[in-house]
Amino acid sequence: MFKGSITALITPFRNGSVDEKAFQDLAAWQIAEGTHALVPCGTTGESPTLSHDEHHRVVELCIEVARGKVPVIAGTGSNSTDEAVALTRHAKKAGADAALVVAPYYNKPSQEGLFRHFEAIATSVDIPIIVYNIPGRSVIDISVETFVRLSALPNIAGIKDATADLARPLRIRAALGERLCQLSGEDATAIAFNAQGGVGCISVTSNIAPKLCSQMQNAWAARDFATCDALNKKLMPLHDALFCETSPAPVKYAASLLGKSTPDVRLPLVPASENARHRVEAAMKAAGLI
């Protein structure tokens, strides 16, 4: 079971290339600050613009740092089923603990197509799979009924839900009980998601505030609701700032203020605007991060 504060890692760039040292330093810092698991090569890691060689290398770099300390859930999704299978096979071979597989974007498959996509990956690679539902980026929404069908596959282990629909985790729990671990993909509603049946969050904000995010999830798990509520309120302005423009541009700027990365992103994304930078700086100061 994957749970707690799980960081969707940025991929630091320098002079157009992956900054391997910065990436591994970031992963090590995350572990030291209490992060419960790491996700390399997700959306926050700009996986759509990584070459296959870069993708493989970033997963391997993360595993080198995290092995034996925290789980690594490698992003292996694609809108090509064959490509997703290949990326997932590499993650398994490299030693990842699980794979995070996003719903196929752009293609707009039917619910049957979605089922068969995840079925093909799950039956091709023996590794736990977290199914990532994010209609805002992939256009299509994986229905509760499709999750019920997918749950019959033994290595479908969980869900990352970025729908912002707080009724969804309760509906899935009503249909499946505790069969799948449910992880939020929305920082701002992570605790509300837990209240409806979630067990943690795959977080963008934890790139910048790993200790605060892990403490909040730990407080929730311990039923220390006063501490959890105080941390949730403290983090809210930071969540807003880090999503004031398309992620991960704001969070990479925030990481640059901590000396963890350059603010560079790859086209078609562009660096955070001046207004976004001011918002990020203000939120980080309010949270005591700078």
Q: Which residues are catalytic?
A: 132, 160
* Cα–Cα distances in angstroms (integers) from residue 167 to residues 104, 129, 173, 203, 223, in the given order: 23, 23, 10, 20, 21
Closest alpha carbon to 148 in 123, 186, 127, 174: 174
Q: Report d(CA 40, CA 59) in Å as an integer.
A: 6
Q: Please name the residue ranges forming H helices in 9-110.
A: 20-32, 52-66, 81-94
Q: Please name the residue ranges forming H helices in 1-80.
A: 20-32, 52-66
Query: What's CA 77's distance to the chain center, in Å?
Result: 12
In the chain, % helix, strand, coil (3-state, to 5) comes to 50, 15, 35
In this structure, the chain runs to a length of: 290
Q: Check the CA dihedral 53-59-63-66 and report its sign.
A: positive
Q: What is the dihedral of CA 243, 128, 181, 150, to 10 degrees?
A: 100
Closest alpha carbon to 109 in 83, 85, 89, 79: 79
Closest alpha carbon to 25 in 181, 159, 207, 149: 207
76 is an annotated ligand-binding site residue: no
202 is an annotated ligand-binding site residue: yes
Per-residue b or e along 196-228, where b marks 16 or more CB atoms closer than 10 Å to that residue's CB: bbbbbbbbbbbbbbbbbbbbbbbbbeeeeeeeb
DSSP 8-state assignment for residue 162: -
Binding residues for pyruvate: 44, 202
Positions at the binding site: 44, 202
